[in-house]
């Protein structure tokens, strides 16, 4: 086997590497006198303040390149190699600062806390959001003592997600559980992984959902046409398995209030699954719900819908219930969070509209649906 063939044996195909939304953090040119050395060890020497675990996760994520090619951890560096390493996010100790903010905490003990997140609040730091996030507020509340996950299922980004074992989207409101120590973090993470967490959401979707009860079982993965979005892959050859159960709570003419129970927790799962069956969430701009999909083509109706859009910051989705086993005493825990006031106003607005339209059509002898 020639030298070029030997080198290729250590490279990962480009399409299997991590996303290119990461930024370069370090760049090294290997000295001319450098002996052959595994790249994970080499980076360990060069990045003394970075944990070995973080380096390994970066390599596994395809975030380490040699001469612009992604490598595995057993690649041996050679003199004059140009090495770049990028991380999903900058190290949290340089960015995360405790910040006071109001937190709607509905339960707290020595192991965990449960809070009701408002819509519009970013959960954890990311590109363009390194302050003012829920994590910043939690660090202030808990005096900067949030744990960083050491669970084998944890992602490479956990260093800036202290205490988090799950998340909800920025514009989704509702319940979250936060771990206050490593034991709780590991135990709760396992429950999420094993799908034993009980989570129910309330969502207002476009259209009159045909079935009172339904189940959506379709893989979800990164959208190939939209890097920040997700898509359904019904054939199951791509993406990850995802299951959403739903039932109709209230029919409101051109929209429907549904309850969704998650069996899996994929990114944007409810939003993507409901769009897949033809019922995007109301006011969900990313997945086609921030436009009139059902109703009348009249100026009055268009104005009504625009007024409804203005009531909420994004998709009409609320994490209404959360159930789990307490990680310390193993007792079942169950919490409910009422709909935010603006969500209630949105529903009331649709109820009044439907009532007036039904009355109008009844008087004229026609049918409103």
Same fold, 3-88 and 98-194: no
Tokens 């979707």 correspond to: 205
Q: Cβ-count burial of 111 within 10 angstroms (0-12 exposed, 13-18 middle, 19+ buried)?
A: middle
What is residue 325's DSSP assignment?
E
Q: Per CATH, which fold does 195-369 belong to?
A: Pseudouridine synthase (3.30.2350)
Q: Where are the domains of the chain?
A: 3-88, 98-194, 195-369
Instruction: Output the pLDDT for position 90.
Output: 41
Q: How many residues does the chain have?
A: 369
CB atoms within 10 A of CB 33: 6
Please write the tens of the pLDDT for every residue from 107-136. 999 999 999 999 999 887 765 566 788 989
CA neighbours closer than 13 Å in the CB half-sphere of residue 332: 5
Residue 110's region, left for phi above 0, alpha for psi from -120 to 50, else beta, is: alpha
CB 69 within 8 A of CB 96: no
CA angle 66, 70, 72 (to 5 degrees): 95
Distance between first and last Cα of the chain:
72
DSSP letters, 45-107, are: HH-TTS-HHHHHHHHHTT-EEETTEEB-TT-EE-TT-EEEEEESS--HHHH---------EEE
Question: Does residue 92 contact residue 157 with C-beta atoms inside 8 Å?
Answer: no
Rounded to 5°, the CA angle 55-71-148 comes to 20
Which of 26-30, 247-251, 335-339 bottoms out in mean pLDDT, i.e. has the lowest?
A: 26-30
- Taking the mean position of all CA atoms in its chain, how far away is CA 49? 29
Q: Which fold has domain 3-88?
A: 3.10.290
Distance of CA 211 to the CA centre of its chain: 28
Cβ atoms of 343 and 312 closer than 8 Å = yes
Handedness of CA 222, 176, 128, 95 (dihedral sign): negative
> Does position 38 have pLDDT exceeding 80, yes or no?
yes
3's CB contacts (< 8 A; 6+ apart) are none
Q: Give SS3 for 318.
A: strand
Catalytic residues: 169
Share of the chain above pLDDT 90, in %: 51
Which residue bears the tokens 């549904």? 258
- Measured CA to CA in angstroms, residue 207 lies from 234, 350, 361 at distances of 22, 13, 19
The string of pLDDT tens digits covering residues 163-194 is 788 889 999 999 999 999 878 887 888 888 78
Model confidence, pTM: 0.72
Half-sphere exposure of 262 (CA within 13 A, CB side): 31
Domain 98-194 of CATH type 3.30.2350.10: yes
Dihedral sign computed on CA atoms, order 157, 162, 164, 167: negative
pLDDT tens track for 130-155: 678 898 999 899 887 776 654 444 44
Residues 161 and 95: beta-carbon distance below 8 Å? no
Query: In terms of DSSP bridges, do strands 173-179 and 317-325 run parallel, antiparallel, or are they unpaired?
Result: parallel
Token reading at 277: 């069956």
Does position 366 have pLDDT exceeding 50, yes or no? yes
Averaged pLDDT, 341-367? 81
């Amino acid at each position: 086997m020639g030298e070029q063939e030997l080198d290729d044996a250590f490279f990962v195909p480009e399409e299997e590497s991590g996303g290119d939304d990461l930024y370069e953090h370090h760049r090294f040119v290997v000295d001319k006198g450098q002996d052959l050395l595994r790249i994970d060890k080499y980076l360990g020497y060069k990045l003394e303040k970075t944990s070995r675990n973080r380096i390994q996760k970066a390599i596994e994520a395809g975030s380490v390149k040699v001469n612009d090619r992604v490598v595995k951890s057993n690649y041996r560096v050679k003199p004059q190699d140009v090495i770049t390493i990028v991380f999903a996010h900058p190290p949290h100790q340089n960015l995360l600062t405790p910040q006071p903010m109001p937190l709607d905490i509905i339960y707290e003990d020595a192991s965990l806390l449960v809070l009701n997140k408002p819509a519009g609040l970013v959960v954890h730091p990311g590109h363009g959001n390194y302050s003012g996030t829920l994590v910043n507020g939690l660090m202030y509340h808990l005096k900067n003592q949030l744990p960083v996950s050491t669970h084998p299922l944890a992602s490479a980004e956990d260093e800036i997600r202290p205490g988090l074992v799950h998340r909800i989207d920025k514009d989704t409101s509702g319940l979250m559980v936060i771990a206050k120590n490593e034991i709780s973090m590991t135990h709760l993470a396992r429950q999420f992984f094993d799908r034993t967490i009980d989570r129910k959401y309330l969502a207002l979707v476009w259209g009159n959902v045909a079935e009172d009860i339904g189940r959506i079982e379709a893989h979800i993965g990164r959208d190939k046409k939209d890097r920040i979005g997700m898509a359904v892959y019904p054939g199951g050859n791509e993406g990850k398995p995802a299951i959403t159960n739903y039932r109709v709570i209230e029919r409101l003419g051109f929209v429907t209030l549904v309850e969704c129970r998650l069996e899996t927790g994929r990114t944007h799962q409810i939003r993507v699954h409901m769009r897949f069956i033809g019922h995007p969430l109301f006011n969900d701009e990313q997945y086609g719900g921030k436009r009139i999909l059902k109703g009348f083509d009249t100026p009055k109706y268009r104005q009504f819908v625009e007024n409804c859009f203005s009531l909420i910051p994004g998709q009409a989705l609320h994490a209404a219930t959360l159930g789990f086993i307490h990680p310390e005493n193993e007792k079942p825990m169950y919490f409910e969070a009422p709909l935010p006031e603006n969500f209630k106003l949105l529903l009331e607005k649709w109820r009044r509209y439907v009532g007036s339209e039904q009355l109008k059509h009844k008087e004229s002898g026609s049918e409103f649906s």
